[in-house]
């Protein structure tokens, strides 16, 4: 099983080009690995995570939702969740879709680099 973690901006809700980018990335993964060998993990937030969830559901891809524990961890909940996704879900690779102001997504990219997890970065620019 190939497990791919996705991270991206919560501000991307309703942005057609962001959803198109998500669909392209997932289609490429399906082409490379097939639906039966692929699982996707995401942070279960609005924006990119929601788009990833819809695209996976449409294609029948297994997905794992990892919401951040905001009430327990406050502002550190996002980085905590991202580390959990990378360390405990046994991610094979990652895809990050940051916009210009995506502090959390850029932190996710750094986490991948420190862990040696290949991370494809798809810049969405200004949203």
> Digits of tens for pLDDT over the chain (127 positions)?
999 999 998 877 667 889 999 999 999 999 999 999 999 999 999 999 999 999 999 999 999 999 999 999 998 999 999 999 999 888 999 999 998 878 899 999 999 999 999 999 999 887 6
- Looking at domain 2-121, its CATH superfamily turns out to be Methylglyoxal synthase-like domain (3.40.50.1380)
Query: What is the per-residue DSSP string for the chain?
Result: -EEEEEEE-GGGTT-HHHHHHHHHHHHHHHHHH-GGGEEEEE---TTHHHHHHHHHHHHT-EEEE----HHHHGGGHHHHHHHHHHHHTT-SEEEEE-BTT-HHHHHHHHHHHHHT--EEE---B--
pTM: 0.93
- Give the start-to-end residue ranges of the domains of the chain: 2-121
């Amino acid at each position: 099983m190939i497990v791919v973690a996705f991270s991206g901006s919560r501000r991307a809700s309703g942005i057609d080009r962001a959803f198109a980018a998500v669909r392209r990335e997932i289609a490429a993964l399906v082409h490379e690995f097939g639906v039966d060998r692929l699982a996707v993990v995401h942070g279960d937030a609005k924006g990119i995570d929601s788009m990833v969830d819809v695209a996976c559901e449409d294609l029948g891809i297994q997905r794992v939702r990892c919401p951040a524990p905001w009430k327990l961890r406050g502002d550190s909940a996002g980085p905590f969740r991202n580390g959990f996704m990378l360390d405990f879900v046994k991610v094979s690779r990652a895809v990050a879709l940051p916009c210009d102001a995506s502090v959390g997504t850029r932190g996710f990219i750094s986490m991948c680099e420190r862990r040696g997890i290949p991370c494809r970065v798809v810049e969405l620019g200004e949203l």
